[in-house]
Amino acid sequence: MSESRFPLVPAVPRPLPAPSIDEPPRATARTLEGLEWILVRELEALGARDFRVGRRTVEFTAEPGRERETLYRAVLECRTAIRILEPLGRFQADSPESLYRAMQEIDWTEQLKVSDTLRVDAAIHDTFLTHSLYAAQIVKDAVVDQLRTPSGRRPSVQLRGATLRLALHLVGDVATIFRDAAGRSLHQRGWRMGEVDAPLSEVLAAGILAIAGWWQPGATAGGDGVDAESILDPMCGSGTLAIEAATIAAGMPPGLWRARRKGHGFFRFRDCDKALADRLVAEAEARVHVPRGSFSMSDLDPRAIEAARACAAAAGVADVITIEQKHFEQVRPASPVGLVVTNPPYGERLPLPRAGAMFTRLGDWLVAHCGGWRAAILAADSPAATHLGLRPAHRVALMNGPIACRLLEVEIHSRQITLRPPDEPRGVDPEEPQAEVAPGWPRARTTADQIGDFRRRLAKRFKHLSKWARRQGIEAFRVYDRDIPEIPLVIDWYAGWLHAAEYDRPHERTDIEHEVWLDRMVEAAAAELGVPANQVFLKVRKRQRDGDQYEKVDARRAVLAVKEGGLEFEVNLSDYLDTGLFLDHRQTRALVRDEASGKRFLNLFCYTGSFSVYAAAGGAIETTSVDLSNTYLDWTRTNLSRNGFKDAGRHRVVRDEARAFLEHRARRGEPLFDLVVVDPPTFSRSAKSETPWDVERDHAELLELVAKNLVPGGVVYFSTNFRRFHFAIERLAPLYAIREITNRTIPEDFRNERIHRGWRLVAKPPV
């Protein structure tokens, strides 16, 4: 095997020992774990020396007479530093009082004016204080008390953009006070625009590029230490990696954008050497040049692409970066060699099975289309990354915020490949291996075959249903309902968003093969219907277990409003198994509205209150919505309010168990209802009931209680989606005239006629 082109990375150093009171404090640079060696090389090139390296910390000195220049240059030019701290003093402190006195020994009039602002951060370890905020408060009090004027004026505290930012390090009985030479974290280059989920730190991006050997920190100034190999990020997010690479290659110091606006802390210092600062900024400007090499990035999310373009423009490198909106499997390298560097979704952004599928597809794409390239992939330290299918040359431990990660460094061998035509539909893989069969025998169906059938079916159904929905004033409808047996998915359209659900069905794929298959099917649906990837949500519907209907499955809160029948309903596509609007009950809701005029209406197991809204819209004189879930009751109030039904006296929302509510109401002799909807779950548990609810066992008892609360001739609409349900006709016949109306309640967009069953019950007069 040939020697790896990735440089060896030193081990993460141990923390530095506790400081000695006799040792003068030194300038200190902070960085991320694993980047300490890069920061040392950067500082060394800027004139620093005499290093002491600890975990996330580099202490250093400078040549005599060049201390201030080294400090300013470190702030302007260090890519892997988070903070550059200048020491102001070291003191013995063994109590809050002695710490206060020590801070008062410094002449703060040289640092601050009364009109300036102050921020104090503190880090404490093994000392007399137990809370860092208290330590910071002591320092703040010492500073402002010294500067307080007879009239009471003093510097004020400001958390963002303070004139002076101080850092206290209190270890044992040794207190060291620093001022932050940058004033804020140096990862804030100044060109970050727009918002995307989980953006990568610019400091970590620079570190990844150095670890991968793409640039050599401290080799030479002006970007000449950069390898000219191409950069490609196929899942770029807001573009941090490619933009950081382009600015490195262009010789742009990371602090240049803020220096132009005098945005660094040292520009505000009262002892700032303005002539030196201006000279260093001018020298930095003079080193900027057009970068060598090729820089490309892409993402499927249009918001991410918009943010990436804005960031590249703000950084001044938009003209040298190719930015495209496309799926990573559509991306093709523009040169024979280069570095694929990317930070794919993982951790909280992508559940483990989905992440494993994504890594499998990423590995297949690298092998198929990036032969001769290298890859540096930042992956969470989880089993998902093992599905890449490529043996990394190195695995470098890094931290991405609180997430433990590994940078996977991969050499991709060249091989003969057939490039996919650029206009090939996404998700269709013509290179998928085909099984060899004897002449005359049918070829086995592949995923590409399935995707083709799936997209054609979606196109046909959507063309018909979208016209029908517009005529009906419907924004949410079912597009695909397991139409093709081998693709057991349900695809629902919500005003330009997609909600997909998979139903468990036996197949011969392994778990990871199935996740890849599922990814491709959902992507094919989004592509066919023109829906952005960030507006598609997938759920897996398994055999119902106790209480599943109340469990959250996510926390992204993708909430939007959809119209139906002239009314508006809030839906949540991300957080629950169901969205908050049962589309299969659309017809039943219309029946309720048609009968509601002048009626007292009861909605048991009300869920999000859509039946209550329809009843109110139909002219019900009052509605009562009952459920045990506070979440659903709040949702019901929201839906009522959205449609103008805000009178809480007329439209009551009650937290109670359905049977207990009916029993108590009948006992109290409260007014009877004229119209009732009962759409219960198949099974649920409740702390308010000794026995769980089971629709097969308990529906007859419940409907008997409903009859006690119903006027003669009153109507009950009862429905269930339990397929093995047996309605207790003989038991309930003395109380109701019973008619099954399932056929009338299945909407046109539902081809599954067993989605639910429904009955219309009319209360008989008492005998």
Residue 435 lies in a domain: no
274, 294: one domain:
no
Domain around 746? 582-763
Instruction: Using pLDDT thresholds of 50, 70 and 90, give the confidence band for residue 2.
Output: low
Instruction: Using pLDDT thresholds of 50, 70 and 90, give the confidence band for residue 553.
Output: low
Instruction: Using pLDDT thresholds of 50, 70 and 90, give the confidence band for residue 506.
Output: confident
Question: What pLDDT sits at residue 513?
Answer: 86
Question: What pLDDT sits at residue 503?
Answer: 81
Q: d(Cα 118, Cα 155) in Å, to the nearest integer?
A: 7
| Percent of the chain residues topping a pLDDT of 70 | 90
Q: Report which of residues 409 and 258 the model is more confident about.
A: 409
Q: Is the dihedral of CA 39, 45, 47, 51 positive or negative?
A: positive
112, 152: one domain:
yes
Which amino acid would we find at residue 126? D
Core vs surface per residue 609-637: b (16+ CB within 10 A) or e: bbbbbbbbbbebebbbbbbbbeebbebbb
Asked whether the predicted pLDDT for residue 306 surpasses 70, the reply is yes
475, 496: one domain:
yes
241, 157: one domain:
no
How confident is the model over 543-568, as a mean pLDDT? Answer: 71
169, 179: one domain:
yes
Residue 352, number of CB atoms within 10 A of its CB: 14
Q: Which two tokens stand for residue 641?
A: 């309010």
Residue 429 lies in a domain: no
How confident is the model over 282-311, as a mean pLDDT? Answer: 92
Q: Is the dihedral of CA 199, 205, 207, 213 positive or negative?
A: positive
674, 586: one domain:
yes
What CATH number is attached to the domain comprising 637? 3.40.50.150
Question: What pLDDT sits at residue 419?
Answer: 39
How confident is the model over 382-395, as a mean pLDDT? Answer: 90
Question: What pLDDT sits at residue 687?
Answer: 64
How confident is the model over 345-360, as a mean pLDDT? Answer: 70
Question: What pLDDT sits at residue 199?
Answer: 83
DSSP-based helix, strand, coil % in the chain, nearest 5: 35, 25, 40
Residue 393 lies in a domain: yes
239, 374: one domain:
yes
SS (H, E, C) 664-720: HHHHHCCCCEEEEEECCCCEECCCCCCCCEEHHHHHHHHHHHHHHCEEEEEEEEEEE
Instruction: Using pLDDT thresholds of 50, 70 and 90, give the confidence band for residue 261.
Output: confident
Residue 745 lies in a domain: yes
Q: Report which of residues 84 and 387 the model is more confident about.
A: 84
Q: d(Cα 719, Cα 747) in Å, to the nearest integer?
A: 14
What CATH number is attached to the domain comprising 470? 3.30.750.80
Residue 122, number of CB atoms within 10 A of its CB: 22
Q: Report which of residues 442 and 109 the model is more confident about.
A: 109
Q: Report which of residues 608 and 436 the model is more confident about.
A: 608
Residue 371 lies in a domain: yes
Question: What pLDDT sits at residue 180?
Answer: 96
484, 359: one domain:
no
471, 393: one domain:
no
Instruction: Using pLDDT thresholds of 50, 70 and 90, give the confidence band for residue 459.
Output: very high
How confident is the model over 138-147, as a mean pLDDT? Answer: 94
Measure the CA dihedral 494/500/501/502, to 10°: 160
Asked whether the predicted pLDDT for residue 599 surpasses 50, the reply is yes
- Overall domain count for the chain: 4
* Residue where a domain stops, chosen among 240, 271, 286: 286
Residue 744 lies in a domain: yes
Residue 34 lies in a domain: yes
25, 143: one domain:
yes
What CATH number is attached to the domain comprising 277? 3.30.2130.30
* Residue where a domain stops, chosen among 286, 305, 330: 286
615, 746: one domain:
yes
Question: What pLDDT sits at residue 345?
Answer: 81
Question: What pLDDT sits at residue 454?
Answer: 95
CB 252 within 8 A of CB 288: yes
Question: What pLDDT sits at residue 435?
Answer: 39
Which amino acid would we find at residue 591? L
The model's pLDDT over 582-598, given as tens digits with 9 standing for 90+, comes to 999 999 999 999 999 99
Residue 32 lies in a domain: yes
Average pLDDT, the chain: 89
Q: d(Cα 189, Cα 76) in Å, to the nearest integer?
A: 10
Asked whether the predicted pLDDT for residue 539 surpasses 90, the reply is no
537, 661: one domain:
no
Question: What pLDDT sits at residue 258?
Answer: 87
Which amino acid would we find at residue 734? P
35, HSE (Cβ side, Cα atoms, 13 Å): 29
* Residue where a domain stops, chosen among 550, 566, 590: 550
How confident is the model over 496-505, as a mean pLDDT? Answer: 89
